[in-house]
Chain A
Amino acid sequence: MRAFGNRSLVTTLAMSVLAFLYAPILVMMVFSFNDSQYTGLPFNGFTFRWYEALFRDDQMLTSIWNSVYVGLGVVVISVLFGVPAAIALDRYEFPGKGMFRRIVMLPIVLPGIITGIALLGFYLTIHLRLSLYTIMLGQGTALMCVTITEVFARLQQLGKSQAEAAANLGANDWEIFKNVTFPGIRSALFGAMLIAFSISFDEIAVTFLLTGRENTLPMTLWSLLRREVTPEVNAVATLIVFLSIILIVAGMYASRGNANEREA
């Protein structure tokens, strides 16, 4: 820390960055317990009313479930296609491999609205009925690149000698995958799944274009917010913050448990 000179200055800076980031979230959480119709001061007293309202609100509950359902579907798609793609990238040389590795990140870099329009046009052309599944497919193909990149990076880091050692000891391809490759990429894969899920969970541009009749949570919140920030919205948001914290901690735990074991 000496290189930065004044220690208390650094501390103050760090604290203010944190405050800037998290104070609004904290305020929002506080208001979700405020016994008042409106988001704002004064604080009228503590209540669980908005949470109760939330759990009675069918539209809200359905959209939460839709979001979770889409998120899980996206995770499944991105794992099912992303892992084999990453393994193929790691293992085989083929023409255009370098190009593919760069181009695979495109969906993340492109604005969601562009991806959404492209997918919509494509689905309409092949007469696919829009539904939660088209959202899953759209987000899943776009978010596959997260899995591919994360898993590919880990595979490169792992190297091939463990897999070769297993083959040398008589293991077949499945045994190598089960005992060597999968344990090696597990934490990276888990991280990629978390990222895919959370991006999917609050994605709005692609979803807006690809959805049928059903709504996901961000879309429901969006339509509610057109009028005002209701305490119920604060309550949903608070729940999501807690869920995110749990996921982050789980992700950290998973990758730490694996870090020591990665090199041997």
Chain B
Amino acid sequence: MTTGIELRNLRKLFEGHGHASWAVDGVDMTIGAGKFVTLLGPSGCGKTTTLRMIAGLEIPTSGQILRDGQDITDQPVTDRDMRMVFQDFALFPNMTIQDNVAFGLRVKSKRGKYTEPQIQQRVAEFLDLVHLKDHAYKKPHQLSGGQKQRVSLARALVTDPKVVLFDEPLGSLDANLRKIMQLELIRLHRELGKTFVYVTHDQDEAMAMSDAIAVMSQGKVMQFGTPREIYDRPANRYVASFIGHAHIVDATVDSKQADSLTVRLGNGDRVGVRGKADAAPGSAVGLMLRAEDLTFTDTAADAIGGKVVDSLYRGEYVEYVVALNGNSGVVHVHARTDLPQVAHGSTVALKVNPAKAHVVVH
């Protein structure tokens, strides 16, 4: 028996006004108990719909949802004991903050579980946890966006669910507050040991917070893995270019060794790549080159040649845009700011870190 949540070939069709489309199109995934798992993808790729099906707010067209081995596909939302933090907070406007947080403890299905003094105490405890102790008697419209978000979080956590679902909870907050809340959520996940399923379109957020990320596109999971796997070893061109804006250069496999291979670019330059790839010599592949894995070098041997066409001063580093020789592609290079500036139009040689270069087949 697997503990946690298992999605089996989950699909959702939305029909309306004469056309139908698959919002979620065959998602398979296992979300381990106690893990922080993120669904990442551009807007409209089916993240919210997947999350809502897990919560029971949307009925799957086909497929199964299992919880600790049991089929919960048809279990009503009210009985699922998974709490959702909504994108628009969905606080109850007519109730005080305190009553909002207490709501999940006062419903009939929880009756008898807590006495009123226990409820009061628990609510106070969780308002304290999200630093809102002083706002207990205010109404939601008197709070800022970040505060509302924390009420919504307290309201979910106070009922002690095993699973908490987040739908872009930080989407409406400004960058500073978002960073603070990210740390806060990581802390809560570590301290409470609950399963967090998190939806975001922000890859930095996903990378920083998650144990595992499912990169989604058009209702499908393109790759499911740890942030490191997804960043360093993207399974396909889509994931490679979506995460960290890698540049993918068309290449051909030149030769294969035991645990490395050599690829040839259109202009004849060769690049060594560590690791295995599912491609025979002579087949066309994509060579993923990230800006931080490229360095300027003086020796032309084992390097790829190009010409600087643009440079951007980024504060932390200088970003050069380099057009590879023979129109083989464009890459970006991050260089330390204390190195001498490379002039526009200069011919340069680039050294690729073989441990970080990566080949994508699809």
- Which A residues form the contact surface with B (CB < 8 A)? 159, 161-162, 164-172, 175, 179-180, 183-184, 260-264
Contacts and interface: CB of A to CB of B under 8 A. Distances in A.
Interface of B: 55, 57, 77-84, 86, 88-95, 103-104, 107-110, 139-141, 148, 155, 159
Contact of B140 (A159, A168, A172, A264): A264
Contacts, number: 84
Given A170-B104, A170-B159, A261-B140, 19 more contacts: A159-B88, A161-B86, A162-B92, A162-B93, A164-B90, A166-B92, A166-B103, A167-B78, A168-B82, A171-B108, A171-B109, A172-B109, A179-B92, A183-B93, A261-B94, A263-B141, A264-B92, A264-B139, A264-B140
A261 B90 CA distance: 12
Contacts of A183: 92-94
Contacts of A172: 78, 107-109
B84 A165 contact: yes
Contacts of B82: 168
Nearest to A262: B93
Given A164-B57, A165-B90, A263-B93, A171 B140 contact: no
B155 to A, nearest CB: 7
Contacts of A180: 92
A115 to B, nearest CB: 34
Contacts of A170: 78-79, 81, 104, 107, 109-110, 159
Contacts of B79: 170
A169 B108 contact: no
- Nearest first, the 10 closest Cβ-Cβ pairs linking A and B are A264-B140, A169-B104, A264-B93, A165-B90, A183-B94, A161-B90, A261-B93, A264-B91, A170-B107, A170-B109
A169 B57 CA distance: 12
A171 B103 contact: yes
A12 B159 CA distance: 62
A37 to B, nearest CB: 55
Given A175-B107, A179-B92, A261-B94, A169 B155 contact: yes
B69 to A, nearest CB: 23
Contacts of A263: 93, 141
Contacts of B159: 169-170
Which residue, of A169, A171, A179, A261, has the highest number of chain B Cβ atoms within 10 A?
A: A169
Nearest to A169: B104
Nearest to A261: B93
A161 B89 CA distance: 9
Given A169-B83, A169-B159, A161 B88 contact: yes
B207 to A, nearest CB: 28
12 contacts: A164-B77, A164-B86, A165-B90, A168-B83, A169-B103, A170-B81, A171-B109, A172-B108, A180-B92, A183-B94, A261-B139, A263-B93
Which residue, of A172, A263, A264, has the highest number of chain B Cβ atoms within 10 A?
A: A264
B139 A260 contact: yes
Given A162-B90, A264-B148, A168 B107 contact: no
A99 to B, nearest CB: 15
A166 B86 CA distance: 11
A179 B103 contact: yes
Nearest to B83: A168
A175 B95 CA distance: 14
Contacts of B109: 170-172
A81 B94 CA distance: 25
A255 to B, nearest CB: 14
A161 B77 CA distance: 13
A167 to B, nearest CB: 5
Contact of A168 (B84, B95, B110): B84
Given A175-B107, A179-B103, A168 B57 contact: yes
Given A166-B103, A168-B55, A260 B108 contact: no
Contacts of A179: 92, 95, 103
Contacts of A162: 90-93
A164 B83 CA distance: 11
A171 to B, nearest CB: 5
A216 to B, nearest CB: 37
